[in-house]
């Protein structure tokens, strides 16, 4: 089990991104580059200058709005506390920040299609290279060389540069992103765990699932991998290491960890998809 202390992770501004606006990020966890279940779990701060056109991906995304408001226009709006599931192959957006500032935690992970997930380093390098032959504007890449197609989604352009082939999107399984408000759900006790409760928020392909977990003071929650837990509030200990609001707890396949709450605690938990070669 790994505990990532948020206070020890800096917020870093990314300069070479394929979207419009400032990105200030804090990376908590990364998977293994080049694998079908590669992932990135991070926090991003965005501002009113952000814009992303309607587009889709060949990987899955989960987002939790912590502060501010993000509009996905006809798909809906995320206000503080709202959880969004953005399935691979499903278009969403355009996306704008409708407050001065927005703070979100995001999981991007390879989806059921097995297309994998390109790392941020690969995408940033692609942006630098593509700027030599074209330009990025409002999330669209325009090539200034060659013949044929000139404008395409910025992510798509980066993916094709990285993989040296055309991107074929997975079949659309959902007609839109799925937005969930955990505040509207009822806490359910977890069997054999005194003082521990859950709000199941959704279960999807290959075991990808989300839930909120409440651990009352002096109670213990036993977590098993492969799972990411973001501490929304409260504090506690696991063996000889403490955790508090903003920290991230990660358990890999086969791992088990006991989380004892020092104060009433609430965690957002993601069960990671089981993707095999």
Question: Per-residue pLDDT tens for 200-213?
Answer: 999 999 999 999 99
- pLDDT for 151 equals 87
Q: pLDDT higher for 20 or 198?
A: 198
pLDDT at 277: 58
> Residue 199 above 90 pLDDT?
yes
Looking at residue 162, what is its pLDDT? Answer: 94
> What are 94-114's pLDDT values in tens digits?
999 999 999 999 999 999 999
Query: Is residue 55 within 8 Å of residue 174, measured between CB atoms?
Result: no
Q: What percent of the chain has pLDDT over 90?
A: 84
Q: Do 152 and 231 reside in the same domain of the chain?
A: no
Please tell me the distance from the alpha carbon of residue 140 to that of residue 19, in angstroms, as a whole number.
8
Find the mean pLDDT for residues 66-72: 97
Q: Is there a single domain that holds both residue 39 and residue 97?
A: yes
- What pLDDT, on the 0 to 100 scale, is given for residue 97? 94
Burial 28-45 (b: 16+ CB within 10 A, else e): beebeeeebbbbbbbbbb
Give residue 18's pLDDT band: very low, low, confident or very high (50, 70, 90). low
pLDDT score at 220: 97
Please state the domain count of the chain: 2
pLDDT digits over 228-264, tens only? 999 999 999 998 899 999 999 999 999 999 999 999 9
The pLDDT, as a whole number, for residue 27 is: 97
Predicted confidence at residue 3, as pLDDT, reads 97
Mark whether 154 and 46 lie in a shared domain: yes
pLDDT of residue 83: 98
CA max distance for the chain:
66
If asked whether residues 129 and 205 sit together in one domain, one would say no
pLDDT digits (tens, 9 = 90+) for 34-43: 899 999 999 9
Mean predicted confidence (pLDDT) in 63-87: 97
Whether 177 maps to a domain, the answer reads no
pLDDT at 139: 86
Q: Give every CB contact of residue 38 below 8 A, 6+ residues apart in sequence.
A: 30, 31, 32, 109, 110, 116, 117, 118, 119
In this predicted structure, the answer to whether residue 149 has a pLDDT above a threshold of 80 is: no
Residue 276 lies in a domain: no
Do residues 166 and 201 share a domain? no
CATH code of 208's domain:
2.60.120.10
Query: CA 71 from chain center: how many Å?
Result: 17
* Nearest in space to 192 (alpha carbons), one of 220, 212, 168: 220
11 and 137 both lie in a single domain: yes
Band (pLDDT 50/70/90 cuts) for residue 19 is: confident
Residue 59: how many CB atoms within 10 A of its CB?
25
Segment 144-166 shows an average pLDDT of 86
Domain C-terminal end among 171, 202, 224 = 171
159 with 188, same domain: the answer is: no
User: Domain end: 152, 171, 190, which one?
Assistant: 171
Mean pLDDT of 121-150: 86
Higher pLDDT, 105 or 139: 105
- Above 80 in pLDDT, residue 17? no
232 vs 151, higher pLDDT: 232
| Residue where a domain stops, chosen among 148, 171, 194 | 171
Q: How confident is the model at residue 120 (pLDDT cuts 50, 70, 90)?
A: confident
The pLDDT mean for the chain works out to 93
Whether 197 and 128 map to the same domain: the answer is: no
């Amino acid at each position: 089990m790994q505990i990532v202390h948020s206070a020890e992770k800096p917020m870093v501004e990314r300069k070479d991104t394929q979207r419009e606006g400032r990105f200030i990020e804090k990376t908590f966890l990364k998977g293994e580059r080049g694998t079908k279940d590669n992932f990135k779990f991070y926090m991003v701060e965005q501002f009113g200058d952000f814009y992303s056109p309607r587009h889709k991906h060949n990987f899955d995304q989960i987002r939790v709005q912590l502060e501010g408001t993000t509009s996905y226009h006809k798909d809906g709006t995320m206000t503080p506390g709202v959880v969004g599931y953005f399935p691979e192959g499903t278009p969403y957006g355009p996306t704008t920040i409708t407050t001065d500032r927005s703070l979100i935690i995001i999981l991007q992970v390879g989806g059921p299609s097995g297309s994998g997930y390109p790392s941020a380093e690969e995408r940033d390098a692609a942006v630098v290279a593509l700027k030599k032959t074209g330009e990025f504007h409002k999330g669209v890449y325009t090539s200034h060389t060659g013949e044929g197609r000139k404008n395409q989604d910025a992510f798509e352009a980066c993916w094709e540069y990285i993989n040296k082939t055309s991107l074929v999107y997975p079949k659309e399984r959902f007609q839109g992103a799925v937005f969930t408000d955990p505040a509207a759900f009822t806490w359910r006790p977890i069997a054999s765990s005194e003082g521990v409760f859950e709000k199941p928020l959704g279960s999807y392909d290959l075991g990808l699932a989300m839930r909120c977990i409440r651990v009352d003071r002096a109670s213990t929650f036993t977590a098993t991998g492969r799972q990411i837990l973001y501490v929304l509030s409260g504090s506690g200990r696991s063996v000889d290491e403490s955790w508090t609001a903003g920290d991230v707890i990660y358990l890999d396949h086969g791992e088990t960890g006991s989380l004892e709450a020092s104060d009433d605690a609430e965690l957002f938990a993601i069960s990671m998809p089981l993707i095999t070669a």
